Structure 1
Amino acid sequence: MTADRRDKLIVALPDAPGEIVRVADAVGDGPLLVEFGEAAEHRQVRIRRHDGSEGWAALSEAILQVGGAPHRVTVLHDAAEDLESREQLRRLSLVANATDRALLLLDENRRAIYANPAFTELFGYTQAEIVGRVPTEVLEGPQTDQEALARLRRRAASGDSFHDEFLARDKWGRDILTLVSVSAVRAEDGSVRNIVLVMEDITKDKQIETLRREMLEALTSAASLRDVGDFLCRQVEALAPEVVCSFILVDAERRLRPLSAPSLPASFSDAINGAEIGPCCGSCGTAAYRGEPVQVTDIASDPLWAPFLDLGLPPGLKACWSSPIKARSGRVVGTFAFYYSENRGPSAWHEQIVATCLHLCMIAIEQHEANQQIAQLAHFDPLTGLPNRSRFHEDIEGQLREASEEGVAFFFLDVDRFNDVNETLGHSAGDQMLMEVARRLQRLFHGADAVYRFNGDEFLMVLPGCTAARAAAEARRALAALSEPFNLSGVTLAKSASIGISLCPENGGDGETLLQHAGAALSEAKKTQRGTIHFFSPEMDAALQQRLHLGNALREAIAGNALELHYQPQLAPESRALHGVEALARWTHPTLGRIAPDKFIPVAEETDQIEAIGTWSLGEACRQLALWRAMGIDIPTVSVNLSALHFRNSALPGFIAGVLDRYGLPPRCLTVEITESIMVDRGGRTLETVRAVRDLGVGLSMDDFGTGFSSLSNISRLPISELKIDRSFMQHFEQDGNAQALVRAVIGIGQSLGLDVVCEGVETEPQRRFLVELGCSVVQGYLFSRPLTPDGLVAWLAEQAGAAAGTPRR
């Protein structure tokens, strides 16, 4: 080696033992060449420095010829860095040997130069068997993905660090899925000197991941909970062939309900079905009771199993480990168990499987319960618990097939004037009544009979094996049961019901037709006499089909703006001065021609289109009135008919105000005509809406007064401004003294209340003169004019103006 004065070289001279001098003192300041051959002694010694500190030094000694004499040369240098490096290598060696992950060190030719014990344990190859070989060539198996193998080699050749999966095969031919981490060790010039491979067995993790994925796929399918449970048990038994699985539910009564145990005898599952969970109820019943896992390593001797030893468990199963399945709320909803053929408990692998399965079972059970709740909501009425219309459509074809030879009767039942209960006693009383109706019908029609709740107060009963005679008898029993008084929140109330009946096969062979015909019979019963029974007839079917066809055509007409308004003048009976006009909806169909209002208005009411007609009429009448006024034609008021449905909508006043504002019309130019049916619609919201409309300054006219639910007390409560006497009183007015007396009374009532009285249907001059004598305010009818188109009304007004300028009327 070459040394200068910076080297810590010291020389011990033999003629001066123990004296230590620096080389420079002995040989001068020139460079000194010292050769340490193989015979030179190298060791580490402990030294003390001049400052008193101690440390380790590397000591090398050799014989040096100086001036022809031999001298022993001792060289010391600080060994702290070498010791640290060796210690670090020792530690790394410990880590490499102690880690449970397989580790390989490759040289620059990608051949193994080191393998740790974990590699030998995982793959079976000793260090001698792997060193000098390319690892992929040793570990490649028939199932190894060649694309993944090529990718691994390609990325390793690049010298980059990466992670990848690799399906390897061990010394005994067993496939092992590994996660390989590759890191390069580079020289100072950047070239790859070594490659470090760290390999982790992820076979079981992958199996758990696959189990979880396949179970979640099963849960998203239409498979039943039992099918999902069977699938889970079979998958687990494939992962761990040494176990037998069972999946048991715990019901709301805390009883065991075996769901899936494909490898256990069905007789054993049947035997424990319904067993109440408790402190001594086998492994599963006890685990469910305690809410914690229960491990029984010897079924034959454990007291927990004493009650179940004779229930058919295979004698080869000697141990059982059961874990409770808990919902997110903490409630125990089931158990998942492993049975063993040896007296043993679970391994770490079994614990990993069960931890995953408990979560999957919880998801499966909660999804099943959610689906049941959805099905309950979708197919059962939440108020009465009866199956609903959706369930009827699912049930009915099967019921008709089963009773094809015996016949089937459909009873469509409706509680008469049920809305009165809601409006007078409140909706809670109405709900109470519907629940009682359901209970009474269920008591009457049970067993094979089915009772459904449809809309509101409509119920359907399907009775198989029912002739016309029996249907009539059963319907009378139902009416009698419902005629018994109802006690609703302390109020005793008597109600009646109406029933429409259709028979299979006489009135149809499919559920939809029979339902439709029973509904038509019910409508006929309510139309003729409430509280009665009515059977369907072919004539009724023809009328029903006509109404359905007309209803569809009307819906298209409303959507296509095909209706129009005609206007009938309203006059003072003596002076014939124009009081206003009434807007009346008219409809001409492209193929059906002109359809009378007395045909399409009832259809509009039955098909819930009357509100749409009224809303359109209100806007169209105001638009036309504004147009007339812009033309200089003075029409004092326009009257528009609205149904009771409009007044159940609290937005009606705002809508009317918006229409008037849009067309720049004062409220007094509009009169809204309401029917007497609003008198029985006593809901607070309805009356509030009526008053709000009147508060706008809009007139309110009671239409068809005297034909429905009239009473002086009701009239006095409503903020109406006008009474309209129905045209029916005018039909035999001149000969019918009773009709004259009624008209006189109504006019008197109107006058006493300060209301205008309008008499419709005036067709003769004697009728007009008599109404003048009685003091009637306003008249309208064919005597003066039929309803006219907007242009026709303008022409009529011009004609009237011309006549007034000529010969005066008498």
Structure 2
Amino acid sequence: MIVRHKDTLGRSMPLTRDRGIQLLGRSVQESDKAVAVLNARREIVWINPSFTKMLGYQSEDVIGRPLVSVLVSKATPSATRLSLERLVNAKRGGLEEINGHDKFGNEITLLIYTDHIRDIDENVTETIVTIHSNTPARMIQTLQNTVLEELVSGASLENVSEFICKKAEFITRDVISTILRVDQNGLLRPLAAPSLPQYYSDALDGIAIGPSVGSCGTAAYFGEPVLVDDIETNPLWAPYKGLALPLGLRACWSVPIKLRDGRVAGTFAFYFREKRGPSYLHEEIVSACVHLCALAIEQHEAKEHINRLAYFDMLTGLPNRRQIYQRASQTIAEASEKQDKMALLRLDIKRFKDINDTFGHSTADQILGQIATRLQNQLRPNDIVGRFGGDVFVIILPEADSVYATMVAKKLVDAVAKPFAIADLLLPISISIGISLYPDNGTDVETLLKRADSAACKGKMAGHEAVFLYEHEVVDGAQERVILGAALREAVSQGQLRLLYQPQVNLADGSLHGVEALIRWAHPVLGNISTSRFIMIAEQIGLIDEIGIWALSEACRQMSVWRAAGKKIPAISVNLSPLHFRNRNLPDVLAHLMRQYDIPKHTLMLEITEGVMMDDHPTTLATIAAIQALGVGLSMDDFGTGYSSLSRLTHVPFSELKIDRSFIEGMVTDPSALAVVTAINSIGRSLNIAVVAEGVETERQQQMLRELGCEIAQGYLLSHPLKAADLEAWLQDRRGGSPPPASRKMRAETLPA
């Protein structure tokens, strides 16, 4: 064969002999197959680098030795030796597969090719031997299969790591293997070192990786393999050689374990008992082991992540509802065995929805995280705190009676009460805590949770930070809440609610000033339910908005009917809950209803309590301002019973003030009550605001109001709340000069207020 190359003009030219030999020599030198040249006596006279890599021999180890003596050992069967000798001495080149051994005694399956070079007389002058090893591929395949089986079986990371080390040591025989993990703080954590004593791993535990931290710490730091072929003299091992040398460890080769995201998660290392580096087999085995370690660590981290999702709250890092149940059950079992007590605390954050709505979820999440930290800082190591969901936390106190539980709860209240610094804001937070005790209040988790919830609800309604122990009478309130809540939902969906209308009369001439729409509920089984009871339930179960919009819609519809029929009803007022004014959509709802039913804005009045005016919530104030802009009238209900200042009256142009019935009832016999009525009436006149006296039930009360100059009265003396048709009859009677309904039979509705 003629080897050609191209000249500067691109023409093909034959290579010189020397150049051809040079190129052939380079290809052999760089081949990944082991190549040896034998002389006529079949002795090795030259080897390439891959021979050293595959079999571990340096040139000085094998030059002058017969090939057969290099590839076999005393353990090699005689048949294998004879096969190799026949191949080497054959007149023509050949091919043979044998089970040979490397320098370190490791058995390797070798595929050997021979080709002879002859002189002019056809005598063999040299033999070219090419050796290919199938052993690493076979061993690696077996290693991979067995380790993957371990992973699939669900074995722990520690067990899989030890399994990999033992398999690697079994294959290579002449090494000791270790696996170290690097934690999130950059510290080494031993996973497996089955052939080393425990104290060796203990000494490495917690060492920080760095540029001069043995083979493993340095490999992890730089993310590159590190070979130290002489532990005794290498400076990387200076602080640690006292550990390794007494165990006969002379060299260490460590390779970083990198995950798919590029992160160094650990190291895999081979220790040698002589000063040396890795062989070809070592490199292949370590490459496979590092990959398997990465798979094992990634699977372990995935399991940990799933476990966190299943058992921990992602926002706070605390145990979640599922884990709370498990740990509470465990604590109950331990308390039962010891005949001891335990306490379960439920912590509710008051008005947390307002924070969410006003400042956004990001701020609310920050507050939840800070609350979690504050709670943990107040508890013992064996206490358990978890986030039950939303704004609810649950604390489990082992070995705790009512006195200790109450003391801890008060500490928690004080800790949370300190304002939270969020951006440039200082936000105060109020909480309530309900406490239930094992075994006094229940012997299972579900019961204790329910009863702590009952106590917490009692605290939440208390209006200030509070700690409440469960009491048996709380059950009645909880049961009522469940029963009435379900019945109320049904009442709303099936139209059981209705409006009655109570007239408001001008005392000067007896004309109609307006009517107040009062919501009533007559349940077919439970009977008449007082408004105060079912409105409170509606607020707790989230029905209050729906009920309020229904009441507004029904009142507007009825006003439209009256106007179409020529009935002169000057105005209709509707009571709304304070929660309605935190609904940004309320002004839009009002505008839509007035357009839909074609009623003038001055005919609609909203009654609000002093509590609404004291609410500095941004949504409340903005909603009131938007309602004013629509021209809808505002009436301050129960004036004098709350905490508002007179300055509030100047900030909001109210159309009327309503004197609470308690003052009207007491004014006849109580000078203080009379003084309050007189003062409110004077305030109304001074600010040009109409004053309505509620709860007028006697002629004497009516007469005194006239004498004080009070303009408007409302109460049973004038009329009970009436159905729409009965109100029309009431109006007709007054125009016809009939006696008032209080003195004759009417179809009035006397339902609980």
**TM-score under structure 1 length normalisation:** 0.63
User: How far apart are the structure 2 equivalents of 1:457 and 1:251?
Assistant: 33
User: How far apart are the structure 2 equivalents of 1:608 and 1:446?
Assistant: 37
**Contact 2:219/2:254 (8 A) holds in 1:** yes
User: How far apart are the structure 1 equivalents of 2:714 and 2:194?
Assistant: 85
Q: Which residue of 2 aligns with 1:652?
A: 586
Q: Which residue of 1 aligns with 2:724?
A: 793
Letter in structure 1 aligned against 2:598: G
Q: Does 1:349 align with 2:281?
A: no
- 1:420 deviates by 11
- 1:362 deviates by 7.2
User: How far apart are the structure 2 equivalents of 1:459 and 1:379?
Assistant: 11
1:628 to 1:406, Cα distance in 2 relative to 1, 3 A: same
Q: Which residue of 2 aligns with 1:287?
A: 219
User: How far apart are the structure 2 equivalents of 1:352 and 1:262?
Assistant: 20
Letter in structure 2 aligned against 1:345: P
User: How far apart are the structure 2 equivalents of 1:527 and 1:100?
Assistant: 81
Q: Does 1:661 align with 2:599?
A: no
User: How far apart are the structure 1 equivalents of 2:171 and 2:558?
Assistant: 82
User: How far apart are the structure 1 equivalents of 2:546 and 2:447?
Assistant: 28
Q: Which residue of 2 aligns with 1:617?
A: 551
- 1:712 deviates by 1.0
Which protein is bigger by CA-based radius of gyration?
A: 1
Q: Which residue of 2 aligns with 1:403?
A: 335
Q: Does 1:736 align with 2:670?
A: yes
- 1:692 deviates by 0.8
Q: Which residue of 2 aligns with 1:680?
A: 614
- 1:657 deviates by 2.0
Q: Which residue of 1 aligns with 2:439?
A: 505
User: How far apart are the structure 2 equivalents of 1:222 and 1:579?
Assistant: 80
**After superposition, what is the alpha-carbon deviation per residue over 1:344-399, rounded to whole angstroms, capped at 9, x for unaligned?**
426463475367447646744764675577579x42654xx765656533432222
**After superposition, what is the alpha-carbon deviation per residue over 1:61-120, rounded to whole angstroms, capped at 9, x for unaligned?**
xxxxxxxxxxxxxxxxxxxxxxxxxxxxxxxxxxxxxx999xxxxxxxxxxxxxxxxxxx
User: How far apart are the structure 2 equivalents of 1:436 and 1:320?
Assistant: 47
Comparing both chains, which one has the higher relative contact order based on Cα–Cα distances under 8 Å and sequence gaps of 6 or more?
A: 2
**Contact 2:144/2:288 (8 A) holds in 1:** no
- 1:266 deviates by 5.4
User: How far apart are the structure 1 equivalents of 2:165 and 2:591?
Assistant: 69
Bigger shift: 657-666 or 591-600? 657-666
User: How far apart are the structure 2 equivalents of 1:171 and 1:355?
Assistant: 29
User: How far apart are the structure 1 equivalents of 2:212 and 2:373?
Assistant: 42
- 1:216 deviates by 12
Q: Which residue of 2 aligns with 1:34?
A: none
**After superposition, what is the alpha-carbon deviation per residue over 1:602-629, rounded to whole angstroms, capped at 9, x for unaligned?**
2222333323322332233333433444
**Contact 1:326/1:362 (8 A) holds in 2:** no
- 1:669 deviates by 2.8
* Residue 278 of structure 1, aligned match among 210, 213, 228: 210
1:740 to 1:276, Cα distance in 2 relative to 1, 3 A: same
User: How far apart are the structure 2 equivalents of 1:555 and 1:522?
Assistant: 23
Letter in structure 2 aligned against 1:674: I
**Contact 1:267/1:312 (8 A) holds in 2:** no
User: How far apart are the structure 2 equivalents of 1:212 and 1:756?
Assistant: 90
**Contact 1:572/1:578 (8 A) holds in 2:** yes
Q: Does 1:392 align with 2:327?
A: no
- SS of 2:454's equivalent in the other structure is helix
User: How far apart are the structure 1 equivalents of 2:621 and 2:171?
Assistant: 72
**Contact 2:522/2:529 (8 A) holds in 1:** yes
User: How far apart are the structure 2 equivalents of 1:258 and 1:664?
Assistant: 80
User: How far apart are the structure 1 equivalents of 2:416 and 2:252?
Assistant: 58
**Contact 2:667/2:677 (8 A) holds in 1:** no
Q: Does 1:769 align with 2:700?
A: no
- 1:256 deviates by 0.5
**Contact 2:350/2:431 (8 A) holds in 1:** yes
* Residue 252 of structure 1, aligned match among 161, 180, 184: 184
User: How far apart are the structure 2 equivalents of 1:267 and 1:749?
Assistant: 88
Letter in structure 2 aligned against 1:349: E
**Contact 2:161/2:293 (8 A) holds in 1:** no
**Contact 2:150/2:160 (8 A) holds in 1:** no
Q: Does 1:550 align with 2:484?
A: yes
Letter in structure 1 aligned against 2:218: T
1:403 to 1:620, Cα distance in 2 relative to 1, 3 A: same
1:582 to 1:386, Cα distance in 2 relative to 1, 3 A: farther
Q: Which residue of 1 aligns with 2:131?
A: none
Q: Which residue of 1 aligns with 2:11?
A: none
* Residue 649 of structure 2, aligned match among 715, 721, 725: 715
- 1:676 deviates by 2.0
User: How far apart are the structure 2 equivalents of 1:397 and 1:403?
Assistant: 10
- 1:687 deviates by 0.9
Structure-to-structure mapping, 1:112-131, within 5 angstroms: none
Q: Which residue of 1 aligns with 2:59?
A: none
- SS of 1:379's equivalent in the other structure is coil
User: How far apart are the structure 2 equivalents of 1:538 and 1:772?
Assistant: 51
User: How far apart are the structure 2 equivalents of 1:484 and 1:349?
Assistant: 62
1:753 to 1:367, Cα distance in 2 relative to 1, 3 A: farther
Structure-to-structure mapping, 1:325-336, within 5 angstroms: 325-326=257-258, 331-336=263-268
**Alignment RMSD:** 5.1
Q: Which residue of 2 aligns with 1:802?
A: 733
- SS of 1:601's equivalent in the other structure is helix
Letter in structure 1 aligned against 2:327: D
1:269 to 1:674, Cα distance in 2 relative to 1, 3 A: farther
**Contact 2:156/2:300 (8 A) holds in 1:** no
Q: Which residue of 2 aligns with 1:468?
A: 402
1:496 to 1:205, Cα distance in 2 relative to 1, 3 A: same
User: How far apart are the structure 1 equivalents of 2:659 and 2:239?
Assistant: 86
**Contact 2:358/2:618 (8 A) holds in 1:** no
**TM-score under structure 2 length normalisation:** 0.67
1:407 to 1:319, Cα distance in 2 relative to 1, 3 A: same
- 1:714 deviates by 2.5
User: How far apart are the structure 2 equivalents of 1:321 and 1:402?
Assistant: 50
**Contact 2:256/2:290 (8 A) holds in 1:** no
Q: Which residue of 1 aligns with 2:688?
A: 754
Structure 1: tracts of 5 or more residues without a match = 1-98, 102-169, 177-200
Q: Does 1:588 align with 2:522?
A: yes
User: How far apart are the structure 2 equivalents of 1:398 and 1:529?
Assistant: 35
Q: Which residue of 2 aligns with 1:10?
A: none
User: How far apart are the structure 2 equivalents of 1:735 and 1:606?
Assistant: 39
Structure-to-structure mapping, 1:183-222, within 5 angstroms: none
User: How far apart are the structure 1 equivalents of 2:548 and 2:184?
Assistant: 53
User: How far apart are the structure 1 equivalents of 2:139 and 2:676?
Assistant: 93
Letter in structure 2 aligned against 1:283: S
Q: Does 1:539 align with 2:473?
A: yes
User: How far apart are the structure 2 equivalents of 1:562 and 1:636?
Assistant: 28
Letter in structure 1 aligned against 2:602: R
- 1:276 deviates by 1.7
- 1:752 deviates by 2.3
User: How far apart are the structure 2 equivalents of 1:741 and 1:689?
Assistant: 34
Letter in structure 1 aligned against 2:670: D
Q: Which residue of 1 aligns with 2:41?
A: none
1:588 to 1:802, Cα distance in 2 relative to 1, 3 A: closer
